[in-house]
Structure 1
């Protein structure tokens, strides 16, 4: 007796042949329009406010290797439901010819309320009710989507430039040979950057702020750098920091993480964190990584303990 072997499972297409589909969702007012424009500038075909019932037809129009597609699907759509959304997402991710990712944009309630108030827009889920009611209703509705997101970006503290940078870092189309890293200094008084993957606190180091001659300067100036580097614990700290990061970076890359944000904070964001961020960025570049660098709170007005 002969038996016929079962048909082999369809193998996924090679990565370069799979069409990239990026589905964007999140809280109304969190920056979906800005993100979609940034993705369009990166080379994505973009579609805003698409009904769930039209997703399959739109995706079917493309063939493997065709232009990547970015689709915004959110609570504005008439037939939106979280369950139906997740069913569509699961079905798309199961297709071997597609590379599907979900991006969720979040934002703090107070900032969302301020954005709606300043623009005098109605919240899509509170057309006849106060804006905070709509925000809370939407947050509950979208909670299952946030849990399933491949990437979540919180825009509470982000400028338009920061949001576009993060979109490019996570979803650039050109092949990247290695993990991209972004290093930022910040002030704990102004809040921890919500987009940070790793946060390091350098407030234990000698604070140049308390020296009247150094106070007007920043961590970019040689006298401040010398004072911070002269702290008896600084060299050991920096050595331990790099020893921690060295084995982590290739693991992030192996796991498919394309963009890593490292934040270094001190009290005022002008002296210690700026110097350490500068030196850390230089060390990372020495490893051959593509590194971006920013000092978020360096230009804040008024003397601040740094």
Structure 2
């Protein structure tokens, strides 16, 4: 394979025998901010890589299941990419002992892609032989034989993540209980016990981003102790979730209409977390989805 066009400045080729953790590694790289593509046929790679590259680094998963895979083709691809001065190419090879690969296939009861009508042992042997020359070209070789998914994530982060750690994508949301809980929330706090600005006519048409509404909600004597405990709990949990390999964490505050109290809490927590060095996004579900002026919040 020759004459490849310009490619992204950072490109990671992920390969290795089936069952060694390639798919998990692709997912980890995606969490780290890579654009990840798995098992693209080799003849489509020039089309993918032509023209201006994406804004994010690129991770390509390649293994013997690729439609037009051959050891020679993959070797040529690595050589062509490595020869481009504009490219920072890393070949990540996920290795694993044959007995562990056999055990994993046995546990999942899947057929081996190189021996669909034969025993997995035959397929494992064939694949390791095919990939031996590629293994020798690896820039990073991770033996996954004794690793669980969390340990594999940590190894990939150590080699490829900025600063050696996954950046946790943290979001803080507000919502209305009348419309139900948002999907995919990790922690939910009910703040309907706080004084409701809806019953103060000048504040009714405003929302929790307004300083007058904020002052009203924060004047409730229960606000400060509640918020302090939520902040302390959040700061306690976030490092633990990062260590566990979690890449996204979402916190939501709910009130009656999702307009006043929950918005104040979400804005206040997001600001406090940002002051502690966290990257935080904010979403106010009811303020962006429809008019909330008539919904007590």
2:271 to 248, 260, 282: 282
The answer to whether structure 1 residue 264 and structure 2 residue 250 are counterparts is no
Q: How does 1:87-166 map to 2 (within 5 A)?
A: 96=143
TM-score, normalization by structure 1:
0.50
Q: Which residue of 1 aligns with 2:65?
A: 57
Question: Offset of 1:253 from its aligned partner?
Answer: 1.6
Please state whether the residue corresponding to 2:286 is helix, strand or coil. Answer: coil
- Number of residue pairs matched? 188
Deviations 1:96-155 (A, max 9, x none): 369997xxxxxxxxxxxxxxxxxxxxxxxxxxxxxxxxxxxxxxxxxxxxxxxx9xxxxx
Partner Cα separation in structure 2 for residue 269 and residue 206 of structure 1: 14
RMSD: 4.4
The answer to whether structure 1 residue 45 and structure 2 residue 37 are counterparts is yes
Query: Where does structure 1 lack aligned partners over 5 or more consecutive residues?
Result: 1-15, 24-34, 49-53, 69-81, 102-149, 151-171
Q: Which residue of 1 aligns with 2:282?
A: 293
1:179 to 147, 168, 171: 168
- Which structure is larger by alpha-carbon Rg, 1 or 2? 2
Question: Offset of 1:238 from its aligned partner?
Answer: 0.7
Query: Where does structure 2 lack aligned partners over 5 or more consecutive residues?
Result: 1-11, 16-20, 41-61, 79-88, 94-106, 114-123, 125-141, 154-159
Question: Offset of 1:245 from its aligned partner?
Answer: 1.8
CA contact (8 A) 1:187 1:269 kept: yes
Q: Quick one: structure 1 residues 46 and 244, their matched pair in 2 at CA, closer, same or farther if it must change by over 3 Å?
A: same
Partner Cα separation in structure 2 for residue 47 and residue 297 of structure 1: 40
TM-score, normalization by structure 2:
0.51
Partner Cα separation in structure 2 for residue 191 and residue 66 of structure 1: 46
Q: Quick one: structure 1 residues 86 and 276, their matched pair in 2 at CA, closer, same or farther if it must change by over 3 Å?
A: farther
Partner Cα separation in structure 2 for residue 235 and residue 87 of structure 1: 59
Question: Offset of 1:258 from its aligned partner?
Answer: 2.0
Question: Offset of 1:200 from its aligned partner?
Answer: 0.9
Deviations 1:163-218 (A, max 9, x none): xxxxxxxxx97665653311111111111112111111111111111122111100
Question: Offset of 1:298 from its aligned partner?
Answer: 1.2
CA contact (8 A) 1:181 1:259 kept: yes
Q: Quick one: structure 1 residues 57 and 275, their matched pair in 2 at CA, closer, same or farther if it must change by over 3 Å?
A: same
Q: Which residue of 1 aligns with 2:217?
A: 228
The answer to whether structure 1 residue 250 and structure 2 residue 258 are counterparts is no
Deviations 1:244-298 (A, max 9, x none): 2222121112212122111111111111011100000011111111111111111
Partner Cα separation in structure 2 for residue 242 and residue 275 of structure 1: 14
Q: Quick one: structure 1 residues 265 and 56, their matched pair in 2 at CA, closer, same or farther if it must change by over 3 Å?
A: farther
2:185 to 189, 196, 217: 196
